Chain A
Amino acid sequence: MIRVFALISTLCLTLFASVAQAQTLKLAVTTSFNNSGLSDVLLPAIKQDTGIEVQLLIVGTGQALRLGKAGDVDAILVHSRAAEEAFVAEGYGTYRREIMYNDFVLIGPAEDPAGISGAPTATQALQRIFGQQAVFVSRGDDSGTHKMERTLWTAAGLEPDTFKGWYRPVGAGMGAALNTASGMNAYLMADRASWLNFANKGDLALLYAGDPVLFNQYAFIPVDPARFPHVKNNLVQKLESWLTSERAAGLINGYQINGETLFTFNANPVP
């Protein structure tokens, strides 16, 4: 028994020791950043170039902002402009720096019972889904994708809160929502990157994309070191200059799945 305890405690100590090394930084990111596979390309390069080990907290935009407001992360990388600007205005973040964009797409059953694939605009596509009362899965988790979806329903002159049983808010991340839609053969809105990297497509297909309103901007926000002195601001600055560098541009623009580019780098010089 004593020997077992000795073994276990040695094991624990070695594991604890391996956690403590290296310069680490906590970054809250949206599920799409990780589900797309881009983080697997960028993080090793960041480690190699700057020596910083970025620890990702993969959550929805709502929760990412919440973590930033509590000072539990050093920076956030999310995609919901209005919420980000409020975050900065309330004094939790120092500023908002745009890094890259991709776009949202409408996914649905391949046979497309609501006929959205020929719709002239994204809002009309949603109106057709509404007209057919076709089953629609909503993220329902206050994430960037969810906020965008609600904005589009509003733009289509419709109010999601009044929708009946065909509208299913699942309150889950992009992956879980895609799994649900795949199981129910339902429509949903997803970011292009997560969709392309998703392995359980079933009978779902990409039905509508290309409307400029579906533009999806990702931005980097350092958590304000004046409010939270423990934030590792010098590492955050290093990470930001890396994310806006030529090297990051090359990796982000060059990241493809099945020959399709997922993200477009569009960082501007320092604001």
Chain B
Amino acid sequence: MNEILEGLKAASWLVLTFDSDLVEITLRSLQVTLTAVAIASLIGLPLGAWLAVHRFRHRRATIALLNALMGLPPVVVGLVVYLLLSRAGPFGVLDLLFTPTAMILAQIVIVTPLIASISHQAMRDLWASYHDLLISISTRKRQRIATLLWDGRRALITAALAGFGRAIGEVGAIMIVGGNIEHATRVLTTAIALETGKGNFDLALGLGFVLIALAILVNVTTHMIGRTESEGKW
């Protein structure tokens, strides 16, 4: 219990003194995760809507597979991305290993199935009620998807936030592909792992509280901008 209090104290101290290392790794955490979630949303949200609207042969199997991929183990993703980006691997010449870009790539792989699955779930329900209308005014498939995405935007924000939640706290993959290099690829989660290894539990816990506060901040900000839950309407 005492150590948790020490952690809270360390967290407040780091924040109040505006510790430059803390600011740096916090911004990098945000940079990596927000970029990854933005790109994953660009892929996952339309994919989810498309799966809701389009009928094809292996649709059920595709959806089942997508749902299963939500549980993709980050360490395995990290290892595969490492082997691809390694100098000895197929994309070695790009020199991307141990850079924030590599971390973003790994997180995109982890987060896209999650965003696509949640998006598909929401779009399917919406499609059930929009189906007759959109068919009767003879819209094209692209228009249907656009309508669903726009009218379901609140649910899609939730999908993106779920992706953010999974990515911001992730350590296994980015540790492998990023290497936890100080001033280059160190982020909040890898710094927590490092400080735990040194036995500096109060500092590790302090960084943990900063991470939790950051996640809350991003969620609250998103809701404020989207004005969800404020006007009692969609």
Binding site for B on A (CB under 8 A): 1, 4-5, 8, 11-12, 15-16, 19, 24, 26, 31, 35, 53, 55-58, 69-72, 173-176, 178-179, 182, 197-201, 228, 230
Output the least CB separation between B148 and chain A (Å).
19
Q: Which of B92, B98, B180, B184 contacts A71 (CB 8 A)?
A: B92
Measured CA separation A11–B198 after assembly (Å): 31
Distance of A201 Cα from B199 Cα, bound (Å)? 8
Nearest-neighbour CB distance to chain A for B79, whole angstroms, equals: 12
B30 CB–A CB distance under 8 Å: yes
A53–B200 Cα distance when bound, in Å, is 26
Q: Assess the B30–A11 pair: CB atoms within 8 A.
A: yes
Residue pair A12, B35 in contact (C-beta under 8 Å): yes
Rounded to whole angstroms, the CA-CA distance of A13 and B27 in the bound complex is 12
Residues of B in contact (CB 8 Å), total 31
Residue contact B201 to A200, C-beta cutoff 8 Å: yes
Closest to A55 in B: B181
CA distance A56 to B178 in the complex (A): 11
In the assembled complex, B225 has its CB within 8 A of some CB on chain A? yes
Contact A72–B97 (Cβ < 8 Å): yes
Question: Do B88 and A71 have beta carbons less than 8 Å apart?
Answer: yes
For residue B86, which residues in chain A have a CB less than 8 angstroms away from its CB? 70-72
| Assembled-state Cα–Cα distance A166/B198 (Å) | 25
* Contact present for B182 and A72 (CB under 8 Å): no
Is the beta-carbon distance between A175 and B28 smaller than 8 angstroms? no
Residues of chain A with a CB closer than 8 A to B27's CB: 11, 15
A150 to chain B, nearest CB (A): 22
Can you list 6 pairs linking A and B with CB atoms under 8 Å apart? A5-B38, A11-B30, A56-B181, A58-B180, A230-B87, A230-B95
B219 within 8 A of A: no
Q: Is the CB of B198 within 8 A of A8?
A: no
Residues of A within 8 A of B92 (CB): 71
Which of A174, A179, A228 meets B87, CB within 8 Å? A228
Write out the residue numbers on chain B whose beta carbons fall within 8 Å of the beta carbon of A1: 225
Give the residues in chain B near A198, CB-CB below 8 Å: 198-199
| Residue pair A175, B184 in contact (C-beta under 8 Å) | no
B34 at interface, CB cutoff 8 A: yes
Q: Which residue of B98, B183, B199, B225 is within 8 Å of A175 (Cβ)?
A: B199
Which residue of A11, A24, A55, A57 is within 8 Å of B31 (Cβ)? A11
Kindly supply a per-residue 1/0 record for chain B positions 27-53, scoring 1 wherever the CB is within 8 Å of any chain A CB and 0 otherwise: 110110011001000000000000000
Is B228 an interface position by the 8 A CB rule?
no
Which residue of B31, B86, B181 has the most chain A CB atoms within 10 A of its CB atom?
B181
Q: How far is the CA of A165 from the CA of B196 in the complex (A)?
A: 26
The CA-CA distance from A5 to B183 in the complex, in Å, is 25
Contact A8:B100 (CB < 8 A) given known A173-B197, A200-B199: no
Q: Given the complex, which residues of B lie within 8 Å of A57, measured CB to CB?
A: 98, 179-181
Residue pair A4, B38 in contact (C-beta under 8 Å)? no
A133 CB to nearest chain B CB (Å): 27
Check if B198 sits within 8 Å of A15, measured CB to CB: no
State A228–B38 Cα separation when bound (angstroms). 35
Partner pick for B197 among A8, A35, A201, CB 8 A cutoff: A35
